[in-house]
A and B are shown apart, each in its own frame.
Chain A
Amino acid sequence: MNSPQTCLEIRGLDVHHGQLRAVTDLSLTVAERQVVAVIGANGAGKSTLLRCVAGILPASRGEILLDGVDVTRLPTHRRVALGIASVPEGRRLFGSLTVEENLRTGAYRHRAGPWDLAAVTELFPWMADRRRQRSSQLSGGEQQAVAICRALMSNPRVLLLDELSLGLAPVVVTRMYEALPRILESGCAVLLVEQDVSKALAMTDQVHCLLEGRTVLSGAPADLDRKSVEAAYFGIDRREAG
């Protein structure tokens, strides 16, 4: 198997949340057209990790490389310009803007690439009829779709998806994940955070399980058995040791 080009590389990352160290010595790589999932219980440091990669939280140690370029100290908007796009937890659309305006904010940095209004509308065709509606009038699933498309409008190299399934019906979540292959076709990489372990195992190329900010288990889903994932997720072996 020829190894595809690495998009995102994280080396020895520490992130603090106030006094608390939320992520410790974390390393992972995401290659082009690859989906890497970070799973873990509530408070394991998953969202903190994504917020640090996006540039909202500073790294206290370690490096974040995008296509080999060190972005660890860059402000958020510069990272967007280089190709890091985020779908934040809870979707967080701009409530007073219409669907189309929300999508257009994603293109603020004018990165060249395959995604524009027409292309993202093809991904979720219902958006064409509702583009003039306030985004606050959409259902949760529809908002999630717009949030994904808003991020795609920046033609990212790396797409960060935070808790895609949060508060959504399973059938809607499945529809979101069905869009992943077409997103990967455009050549970007996806790093996602998920509490729904079965979804993460089914849809991704690589899984990292976090416990109290550390990677306790990682590998391709095919190589991981359900039991060891559960043990890592809940920290069962640790409790016995400590």
Chain B
Amino acid sequence: MGLLNAVVQGVLLGGLYALYAAGLSLMFGVMRIVNLAHGDLGVVAAYVALVLVTHTFLPVWAAVVVTVLLSAVAGYLLQRLLLQRSLSSGPLATLLVTFGLSVILQNVLQELFSADTRSLDTGTFATAAIHLGEISVSYLGLLGLGLALATIVGVQLYLSRTATGRMMRAASDDPEVATLVGADARHVYAVATSIALASVALAGMVFAMRSSFSPTIGSMSLIFAFEAVVIGGLGSLWGTLLGGLGLGLAQSIVGYYDPADSILAGHLLFLAVLALRPQGILAARGT
């Protein structure tokens, strides 16, 4: 494997990180909620898809679509029934609620599915790749990157072109005035969480197709998603995309020289950004 191949793999991996991080970034940008259960919600989606594939006649792609829709509904309800209540008690309360949710989800998954590792079988698709000389571009990697780009472009268009999306940005600037112009904050926030959960469900399922997963894997994805958001710049979705790619590249390029240091390299990039440019690569939109 050459260095060029490592770069290509880094971009593909970074796409998956960006897809993981997009929802986290959106929820923080709109509501200032740091969702510590974000990674676990992706894992839950992977298990839901696994159950659908093994216990129904649905093919994998249909199970993915159904899971994304279910996650969107779950996101709306999660915000209305749980997170909204904690929002009025300050940022610490939402942090604790999502932390509690993370612990509960991990343990319920262990109870239901045991700690065994599973994977979402996509047949020959999982190993198929385009070969360009020494570089191999896996279909799954392309899928992750493509979904990340589509999600981030789609959410950006939604935020800039629709009345509800505009109101999300308005509420991010000044939630009180957003209600003064007629926004039902609970609804606007619930739509944002709904989008966030749909996107993390996609990420969780693509991850489950690429490698094996288990109930506690969500914590690790949360850390990568976090790092992507911070590297890119809080509150900026394009930044999150760049952050994910940066993280993927750092891990892959260092991994090319020494696989043992791959994860560490990502963390070091994160620390370096925090130390040298704490606002991230792209500072948040706004004043």
- Name A's B-contacting residues (CB within 8 A): 54-56, 75-77, 80-81, 85-86, 88, 92, 94-97, 101-102, 104-109, 134, 136, 150-151, 154
Contact = CB atoms under 8 A, between A and B. Distances in A.
Given A76-B179, A94-B177, A154-B181, A105 B166 contact: yes
Interface residues of B, number: 21
A88 B177 contact: yes
B286 A77 contact: no
B170 A77 contact: no
Interface in B161-208: 163, 166-167, 169-170, 172-174, 176-185
B110 to A, nearest CB: 41
A133 to B, nearest CB: 13
Interface of B: 163, 166-167, 169-170, 172-174, 176-185, 285-287
A97 B181 contact: no
Contacts of B180: 54, 56, 76, 80, 86, 88
A94 B173 CA distance: 6
A101 B172 CA distance: 14
A113 to B, nearest CB: 14
Contacts of B185: 77
Contacts of A75: 179, 184
By secondary structure, the B interface counts as helix
B169 A92 contact: no
A105 B167 contact: yes
Nearest to B160: A101
A97 B179 contact: no
Contacts of A136: 286-287
What are the 9 tightest A-B residue pairs by CB atom distance, in nearest-first order?
Answer: A80-B182, A109-B182, A96-B286, A95-B287, A94-B173, A76-B179, A94-B170, A136-B287, A108-B182
Given A95-B286, A96-B286, A105 B174 contact: no
Contacts of A134: 287
B167 A108 contact: yes
A81 B177 contact: no
